[in-house]
Amino acid sequence: LAYRIKCTVAYDGTNYFGWQRQKNQPTVQDKIEYSLAKLHNEDIQIHGASRTDSLVHANNQVFHFDSTLDLTESKWKIAINNFLPKDIYIKKVEKVSNEFHARYSVKKKRYIYKMSINDYDPLKRHNVSFVRRKLDISLMKQEITKLIGTHNFKSFTGGTIYENYVRELYEADLMYDEGDLIFTFVGKGFLRYMIRTIVGTLVEIGYGRKEDILKILNDQNRDSAGKSAEPQGLYLDKIWY
């Protein structure tokens, strides 16, 4: 009899080539599957909710796998963490029904992006993107909210061909506090590089080098948008099922 196990995991993406298994590059999925293989004495495949890119972090990524081992939820947590490196940590383990799928059952996801216009801080270099001062933050706040709703986001993606570039953003928000900016995006699904490209474009708007995010959106052309923001500011923050 196999049990379906749902795990919530936090990781520091600094030392990984992203979530997804790759040949000859360390990834978060690798490390977790290695731990599960140790526990099971056989290969176990996990299914993640979201593929995070190189250097991107997660406060709460979710994955599932099936197992014939019958442990309590708290024993599972200890057992998996036991074979994981210190930059990956299983926060929660839940036994779920076989209907649950970490990727296909997602209702919505939240990503946050951390940026700073303060002086460079070496202690934050892996966790925040530092940009120059003189950003027009109130303009950026005004522009970001225009992205809420259902749009074709083709201008803000690259590297992958999709059948359909339409996505819905339930929330898009920018908070500013003492030099720190936090961008928040909530949606059911996102295109590749979509958040980093929206953030990078908003920064160029903040510098006055671009204007009118709806015009950029409506161009449906990657060349209209700005450079993607650096990966280390991005966090997969929460997933709802």
Q: Please tell me the distance from the alpha carbon of residue 117 to that of residue 228, in angstroms, as a whole number.
A: 17
Among 20, 22, 54, 59, binds a copy of itself (CB under 8 A): 59
161 counts as binding a copy of itself under rule CB under 8 A: no
Q: Please tell me the distance from the alpha carbon of residue 98 to that of residue 120, in angstroms, as a whole number.
A: 48
Binding mask 16-55 toward a copy of itself (x if CB under 8 A, else -) reads ----------------------------------------
Task: Dihedral sign for Cα 166, 20, 29, 10, please.
Answer: negative
122 counts as binding a copy of itself under rule CB under 8 A: yes
Assess contact for 213 and 141: CB atoms under 8 A: no
Count of residues touching a copy of itself (by CB under 8 A): 17
Q: Please tell me the distance from the alpha carbon of residue 19 to that of residue 53, in angstroms, as a whole number.
A: 7
Please pick, among 12, 30, 53, 121, the residue that the annotation labels catalytic: 53
Residues in the chain: 241
Q: Please tell me the distance from the alpha carbon of residue 27 to that of residue 178, in angstroms, as a whole number.
A: 34
125 counts as binding a copy of itself under rule CB under 8 A: yes
Q: Of 7-15, 31-39, 203-211, 218-226, which segment contacts a copy of itself by CB under 8 A?
A: 7-15
Among 23, 68, 86, 132, binds a copy of itself (CB under 8 A): 86
Q: Any idea which residues carry the catalytic annotation?
A: 53
